[in-house]
Amino acid sequence: MPKETIKQNTQCRMCKGENLLQFLDLGTHPLANAFLSKEDLLKSEPRYPLRVFFCTDCNLVQLVDVVSPEVMFRDYVYFSSAMPTLSKHFEDYVEEVYDRFIDSSDNFAVEIGSNDGILLRAMKAKGVRVLGIDPAENIARVANERGIETLSEFFSEALAKRIVANRGNADVVIGNNVVAHIDDHHDLVKGVKSLLGERGVFIFEAPYLLDMLENLSFDTIYHEHLSYLALAPLTKLFGKFGMEIIDAKLFPVQGNSIRVYAARKGAYTVNSRIAELLKKEKEMRCDKIETYHALAERITELKKEVVGVCRQLKKEEKTIAGYGAPAKGNTLLNYFGIGAETLSSVTERLPSKIGLFTPGMHIPVRDLQEARANPPDYYFMLAWNYKDSILKDEKDFLSHGGKFIIPIGKERII
């Protein structure tokens, strides 16, 4: 593989310590969003190590093998507005942010990793000035066409200073499922602090580390997700730069996500939820390497169990297809070694993925509507984080005797 596409960190990205211990090795994987065309199947497919480490100094769980963001994000297949239930989540999100932190229509909101502008559209509708930042050129183009001004750049302190010089400070900076994607956390926080006004607030969502420990949602591990976030290490990070976490909430979106609110130290009263969540993290021994060795063992056991279920069903000559083609599903398929010999296809609503093949296992991606005309006996629910809405949408399939295999969570067959 070309040298410039991957580097290996020797220091923790949050505290710069060098005491990094590996606890999980999922093997080598292709990029989770690098879906393939028929022509691509004839070419060599790049694969990269997927190893997870624990920093004994600040307790951040992280990847040290960092694939170039230019490779991962410049041309992207994930469109937020096409995801079931996300529109409602973002509408509620904007209502809360507006009520708590916006006091006039002259306020300025910036979103890092704004995708196709789904959240900023709702913010703009309230009269707030908005600006999106997203490095995916194809997606930024769509956002701009929809009237959401979007810079197709990677966020940095230098970019933040340029925005302030041209447009003034932001009252709110938002970053959803983006903080975990950024390698240089120090530049991120310095950039956010430069961009925010004195009482400005940085609000971001990310998969919560405790969800992986409680529900075994290890499929959030892929190359885009460089860090697996918890409040304790984040508190230390923001503290380094004169900021503090003032609030945090949990949401059942994309698994269990945490929404974190940070501002300049002393600008706001710190909500009591912070102490409660930090206490829970301590009780769950998030600061001990033994916790992560135990997690790795549970992941190995889960692989044996789920692969065993699929093998048994194939012996019984049952047909199985994947439901959904999310990035996280490709971690599952590649680690479990489940390919086209087991799943005839995977279904998808996103036009940008239909007609392609999954990275690594090369399973064809079919239009969901087309799949409904000739359903399998079982669907392997790769998009398990949307389980409730999928079960609702597929009542007809269930009523005709169809079943779902759920790879993550306590129920295995529904």
Which amino acid would we find at residue 193? Answer: K
Phi, psi (degrees; rounded to nearest 5) at 8? -120, 120
Q: How far apart are CA 167 and CA 154, in angstroms?
A: 18
Task: Label residue 56 exposed, middle or buried (CB < 10 Å: 0-12, 13-18, 19+).
Answer: middle
How confident is the model at residue 71, as a pLDDT? 81
How confident is the model at residue 60, as a pLDDT? 98
What are the E-state strand segments in 271-395?
Answer: 320-323, 346-348, 365-367, 378-381
How confident is the model at residue 254, as a pLDDT? 53
Per-residue pLDDT of the chain (414 residues; tens, 9 = 90+): 444 689 999 999 999 999 999 999 999 999 999 999 999 999 999 999 999 999 999 999 999 999 988 787 655 554 455 444 456 777 888 888 888 998 877 899 999 998 888 889 988 988 999 999 998 888 888 889 999 999 999 999 999 999 999 999 999 999 998 999 999 999 999 999 999 999 999 999 999 999 999 999 999 999 999 999 999 999 999 999 999 999 999 987 655 789 999 999 999 999 999 999 999 999 999 999 999 999 999 999 999 999 999 999 999 999 999 999 999 999 999 999 999 999 999 999 888 899 999 999 999 999 999 989 999 999 999 999 889 889 999 999 999 999 999 999 888 998
How confident is the model at residue 262, as a pLDDT? 98
How confident is the model at residue 307, as a pLDDT? 96
Closest C-alpha among 167, 62, 56 to residue 110: 167
How confident is the model at residue 61, as a pLDDT? 98
Enumerate residues 6+ apart whose C-beta is below 8 A from 43: none
How confident is the model at residue 351, as a pLDDT? 84
Q: Give the pLDDT confidence of 253-283 residue by residue, as tens digits.
A: 655 789 999 999 999 999 999 999 999 999 9
For Cα atoms 101, 102, 107, give the angle at the middle one, nearest 5 degrees. Answer: 130
Q: How far apart are CA 36 and CA 57, in angstroms?
A: 40
How confident is the model at residue 1, as a pLDDT? 41
Which residue segments constitute the domains of the chain, with CATH numbers given? Answer: 80-287 (3.40.50.150), 308-405 (3.40.50.720)
How confident is the model at residue 98, as a pLDDT? 87
How confident is the model at residue 105, as a pLDDT? 76
The 3-state secondary structure of the chain, one letter per residue: CCHHHEEECCCCCCCCCCCEEEEEEEEEECCCCCCECCCHHHCCCCCEEEEEEEECCCCCEEECEEECHHHHHCCCCCCHHHCCCHHHHHHHHHHHHHHHHCCCCCCEEEEECCCCCHHHHHHHCCCCEEEEECCCHHHHHHHHHCCCCEECCCCCHHHHHHHHHHHCCEEEEEEECCHHHCCCHHHHHHHHHHHEEEEEEEEEEEEEHHHHHHHCCHHHCCCCCCEEECHHHHHHHHHHCCEEEEEEEEECCCCCEEEEEEEECCCCCCCCHHHHHHHHHHHCCCCCHHHHHHHHHHHHHHHHHHHHHHHHHHHCCCCEEEECCCHHHHHHHHHHCCCCCCCCCEEECCCCCCCCECCCCCCEEEEHHHHHHCCCCEEEECCHHHHHHHHHHCHHHHHCCCEEECCCCCCCEC
How confident is the model at residue 137, as a pLDDT? 86
Q: How far apart are CA 293 and CA 311, in angstroms?
A: 27
